[in-house]
Each structure stands twice: as C-alpha cells, then as structure tokens.
C-alpha cells in the first residue's frame, strides 16, 4: 500500500464541513492547531462525537488524535450506512448539529440509513429536530431525494443541560442528486409550527402559541401552531419549552425559525441566589420573539432561511455536472464559509450575482458530478 497523502489544514473553523466533504470526496486530511489558543485546547466533546459517528457510518475509516487533541489525522472510509445504528450525541451540542452531515452521508451510502440518535433535540444554538422535519426534508426533495424512506421520528424530547431526547432517522440512498433552478420564492400563504413543553406546565406552550398567533394573524388568516406537551420518559431530563415556526410560500418554499428556553435544574438552580439568579424570558414574550425572527427571515428574501444556506450550497455543489441556480437573502457567515469549503474540497465555484431590485443574491454553479463515490474500492 502506497503512502497516504494528507490534505493539510489548520484551526478548528468549519470542522464539521471539513470532515463531511473529506468523507464524501475520500480525501485524507490532517488538521493542526485545533482550538490551540483556547484555555482548554484540543477537540471538543461534540467534535469527537461527530468523528465517532462518521466511524459508525463508514468502513475502513482511520482516526488518529494526538495527546493534547490539537492534531487530527482522518482517513475517510467507504460510506456504508446501514440499520440498527445507535449514537449518543452527548449534551455539548444538540442533535441538529449532527443531522446535516449525517443526512448527506446517508444519501451517498451503500445501504439506506436507519439510526437512533440520543441527546438534546431542541436548544437555542442548533436547528431543532422539528425544523429538519418540516423545512429541511422538503428542501431535499427539490434535489431529487425521494420522500419515501426519508423520515424523522421524535420519540422523546430533550433540552439542555441534561438532554435525554431520542429521535429515529431514516435516510434513503440516491444514485445522484438532481440539479435545480430554484429562484422563485413566492408569497407566504400560511404559517405552521409546533410549540413544545418538557417537564413544565402545558400553559407555557399555550402562551407561546397565543403570542405568536397574535403577530401572524395581523398579516394572514391561515395560521396553525400545534402543541406538543411531553411528560415522564418522553420529556427528557431537563425542563424547558420552545417553538418552531414555518412560513410556507405559494412556490413551495419553507422558511423557518426556532429556539428553546431551558432551565437549570436541581443543585444548579439552588446555587443561584438573589439577583444572580437567571431570569428566563416569559413564554409569551418568547413566542412573540421567535415570530418576529421568522418575519425577519421572510423579509430577507430567498428560497431558504439563513440557517439553511450552507446545506443548500452543499446540495448544489454535489449535483451532477449540470447548472444549479438558487436565490437566497443576504449571505450568512455560515453560508460564506460553506462556499469556501466547497471551493477547497470540491473545486466548485459559484457565480454570485446580487439582485438590487429585491435585495437578494442569485448563485449559480456547475455541479461536481458526485455519483457513487462511496462505492469506490480501496
């Protein structure tokens, strides 16, 4: 066996995208100076967990980490997929952090993917599992991913700090994606959503729904927000509440916004006294706040919200050698970094053209021709 040539990278920025693209392209990478300047240098728990997840999905994957965790050698394996897989995502990042790369790997695996993920289902940092189900999945269908076999079941919810949630994910395989011309954002025709509560009063969920409806009903009549009240084993290990909202447009676009409020618990809560005790945002105010965030996302324009820009660009770049053209609002920092990683790993460059009349941006690219790469033999 010949000597392996590693693509050399530095720093911890975009670790998730680097590992994903390296795996899809079967490119060995060497990353140095990972969180090197931090008080606690080295790989974070969620980054190690992501590596272990990739290890479960692939065959002949090799991971080597130095003692301080600041240097990583990663040689991707063949993407196998499979069923009866279980992964504990931990509690340093939500399950949403793992879902984006997991879905893309699943699409290009040898076998359809069925996996149980445990951890935090909803938090304020990563997209919620509700958003993946209501917004991300319809987006995948635009690229030729069949709806049959694409499924996400929320068996139990879990919020920070202690998680306890569980979801079951099923992803079908594809021979290749389908290039898309997706520039018509349409007009908002209805609002849908779901408010959840775990180990707190159901009334908090009702207050979020009532407040959010108060914002939307001034603008359009078709508004429905469901309530998901969880208790006992389905409520995870920490109390909290949150809301996920989706604007559906006349052209089939889904624009989303979501977030979660969670409490400290037990000794953590008892240790916070007097004025230092954390003031949590009231449920009604929180419902109004997330409704306003959704309106801001709609105002930005584009066929996806800012959270989904990165995934949209990845899907375009992974298409066959054909032209894809999409419209987004103002480019998000995550979207910009994704474009850089795509250029670096896939050698796909987007033509970016601002549309002054709408304040949006139109991006066009020639796909990388991703097809059956997981079936390569070593």
Reply yes or no on whether the pLDDT at 114 is more than 90: yes
Q: What is the pLDDT of residues 29-48, one digit of tens each?
A: 999 999 999 999 999 999 99
Q: Residues with Cβ < 8 Å from 342, sequence gap 6 or more?
A: 21, 313, 314, 317, 348, 350
Q: What confidence score (pLDDT) does residue 265 get?
A: 46
Q: What confidence score (pLDDT) does residue 376 get?
A: 39
- What is the mean pLDDT of the segment spanning 311-316? 98
* Of 221, 214, 149, nearest in space to 188 by CA: 221
Q: What confidence score (pLDDT) does residue 371 get?
A: 79
Which parts of 168-282 fold into alpha helices (H)? 202-216, 267-270
Reply yes or no on whether the pLDDT at 248 is more than 50: yes
Is the domain spanning 1-79 CATH 2.60.120.10? The answer is no
Spatial separation of the C-alpha atoms in residues 61 and 51, rounded to whole Å: 10
Q: Residues with Cβ < 8 Å from 16, sequence gap 6 or more?
A: 47, 50, 97, 100, 101
Task: Assign 38 to helix, strand or coil.
Answer: coil
Give the pLDDT band of residue 2 (cuts 50, 70, 90): low
Q: What is the pLDDT of residues 50-60, one digit of tens each?
A: 999 999 999 99
| pTM, to two decimals | 0.94
Q: What is the pLDDT of residues 323-344, one digit of tens each?
A: 999 999 999 999 999 999 999 9
Least confident of 55-59, 263-267, 310-314, 356-360: 263-267
Is the domain spanning 188-263+282-300 CATH 3.30.360.20? The answer is yes
């Amino acid at each position: 066996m010949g000597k392996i040539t590693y693509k050399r990278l530095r720093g911890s920025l975009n670790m998730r995208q680097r590992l994903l693209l390296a795996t899809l392209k079967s490119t060995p990478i060497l990353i140095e100076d990972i969180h090197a300047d931090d008080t606690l240098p080295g790989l974070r728990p969620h980054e190690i967990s992501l590596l272990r997840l990739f290890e479960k999905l692939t065959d002949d994957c090799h991971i080597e980490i130095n003692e301080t965790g600041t240097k990583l050698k990663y040689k991707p394996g063949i993407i196998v997929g499979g069923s009866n897989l279980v992964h504990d995502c931990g509690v340093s990042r939500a399950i949403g952090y793992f879902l984006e790369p997991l879905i893309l790997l699943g699409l290009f695996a040898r076998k359809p993917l069925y996996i149980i993920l445990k951890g935090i289902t909803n938090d304020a940092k990563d997209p919620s599992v509700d958003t993946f189900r209501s917004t991300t999945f319809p987006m995948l269908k635009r690229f030729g991913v069949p709806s049959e076999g694409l499924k996400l079941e929320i068996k139990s919810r879990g919020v920070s700090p202690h998680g306890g949630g569980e979801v079951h994910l099923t992803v079908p395989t594809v021979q290749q994606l389908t290039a898309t011309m997706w520039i018509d954002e349409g007009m908002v025709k209805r609002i849908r959503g779901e408010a959840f509560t775990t180990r707190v009063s159901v009334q908090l969920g009702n207050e979020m729904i009532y407040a959010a409806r108060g914002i939307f009903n001034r603008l359009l009549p078709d508004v429905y927000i469901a309530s998901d009240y969880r208790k006992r084993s389905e409520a995870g290990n920490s109390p909290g509440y949150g809301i996920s909202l989706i604007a559906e447009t006349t052209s089939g676009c889904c624009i989303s916004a979501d977030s979660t409020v969670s409490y400290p618990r037990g000794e953590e809560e008892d240790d916070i006294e007097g004025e230092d005790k954390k003031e949590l945002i009231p449920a009604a105010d929180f419902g109004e706040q997330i409704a306003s965030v959704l309106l801001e996302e709609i105002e930005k324009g584009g066929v996806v919200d800012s959270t989904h820009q990165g995934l949209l660009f990845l899907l375009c770049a992974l298409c066959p050698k054909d032209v894809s053209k999409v419209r987004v609002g103002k480019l998000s920092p995550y979207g910009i970094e994704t474009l850089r990683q795509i250029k670096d790993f896939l050698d796909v460059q987007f033509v970016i053209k601002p549309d002054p009349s709408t304040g949006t941006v139109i991006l066009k690219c020639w796909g990388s021709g991703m097809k059956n790469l997981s079936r390569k033999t070593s």
